[in-house]
Amino acid sequence: MAENKVRFGLKNVYYAKLTESTDSTNNTFATPVAVPGAVNMTINSEQSNNPFWADNVIYFMSSNNNGYTGTLEMARIPDTMLKDIWGMTSSGGILYEESGVQPKPFALLFQIEGDQKAELNVFYRVIPTSRPTAGSQTTEESIDPVTQSFDFSALPLVTGPDYQKNKVKGRTDETTTTAQRNAWFTTVQIATTA
């Protein structure tokens, strides 16, 4: 099948809690959980460059992939995600948050449509850098839903002692099998490095 010429749309957003091991060799992901109501996602690459000057010119340039920063806008952040990721607690009929609770890392999975085939994506180690927005507005002649969003950093996931092969993100391509596509939102797919 030919590669996509264009990408459009956003749907099938899922999160999978990440448990990081102390030696980075036994990182595990929980079963992905659907977050319905995808509205918008903006993603910016984070990269640092280190020029080495010689002979009065940039003789060599090294570049580091520091992951991505982004904002995810949803119709509503479900209570399950608020509990799993931001550590909110339900007690006595009230869902509440406490100061000082650190957000948990997770994998962020999502689908972007294409003219040939859907592109399935995953960021392996996402850490929220803000809590979900909270607010609303008065209802006038028509109902206009108020969305929620949060900022995040998608960082490299250390997968072993070879620090040159840390995984930041993954996506399907023309070699992705049907089995991999069918399992994309049921388990986090990580390619092994040859």
Pick from 186, 170, 172: nearest CA to 116: 172
- Residues 31-73 pLDDT 10s: 999 999 999 999 988 877 788 888 888 888 887 777 889 999 9
Q: Which residue bears the tokens 């028509």?
A: 142
Q: In this structure, what are the phi and psi dihedrals at residue 20, rounded to the nearest 5 degrees?
A: -90, 130
Q: Is the dihedral of CA 65, 66, 71, 77 positive or negative?
A: positive
Q: Is the dihedral of CA 176, 178, 181, 183 positive or negative?
A: negative
What tokens appear for 167 in the block?
């995984």
Q: Give the global pTM.
A: 0.84
Residue 194: predicted pLDDT = 47
